Structure 1
């Protein structure tokens, strides 16, 4: 049995691009949630900063997340928001 993988993708939109970034992320939600091995794929907005988004993900394992990163909708997401925002990805393992 493989360990679940948790991913936090922090996306900070450049000034005047928050709505556009949010709209692009929303397009990737449904297809990501339908992927095999996806247990959670949620878009969160920072209550203190409306330009800071977090995608909270839970995958069955690293292989499922790696497959996700090869999908067209993921590649399109990254390609579209890269010029509009900074992106930081943290991958976490469950300890307890």
Structure 2
């Protein structure tokens, strides 16, 4: 088991920034309680307020996979799909 990090970026459609923000904020608490979650921090881009960025650390890829299948993430995906213009997920491991 080796720790992994994730950078997840979601860009709201114009006019849907606050709906997306509320939905993203709603998954922070439940996710931080998940087994294997080491860090789960939500940020907003200072220069592009439609862009939201999660910095995440997980105990393992298995923990991240379980997170992706969790009830609160599934509900978030269904609710927020209409507000998201683009999304990007980068899964990385620390090398130095």
> Above 0.5 in TM-score?
yes
Q: TM-score normalised to the size of structure 2?
A: 0.95
* 1:48 match: secondary structure: coil
Q: Distance in 2 between matches of 1:54 and 1:75?
A: 19
Q: TM-score normalised to the size of structure 1?
A: 0.95
* 1:36 match: secondary structure: coil
Q: Kindly report structure 1 stretches of 4+ aligned residues shifted beyond 4 Å.
A: none
Q: How many residues align?
A: 95
Select the structure that is richer in helix.
2
Q: Which runs of 5+ in 2 are unaligned?
A: none
1:26 is matched with: 25
The alignment's C-alpha RMSD in Å is: 0.8
Alpha-carbon contact 1:3-1:94 (below 8 Å) kept: no
Please report how far the alpha carbon of residue 24 of structure 1 lies from its aligned counterpart in structure 2 after TM superposition: 0.4
Please report how far the alpha carbon of residue 71 of structure 1 lies from its aligned counterpart in structure 2 after TM superposition: 0.5
Alpha-carbon contact 1:8-1:55 (below 8 Å) kept: yes
Q: Which runs of 5+ in 1 are unaligned?
A: none
2:47 is matched with: 48
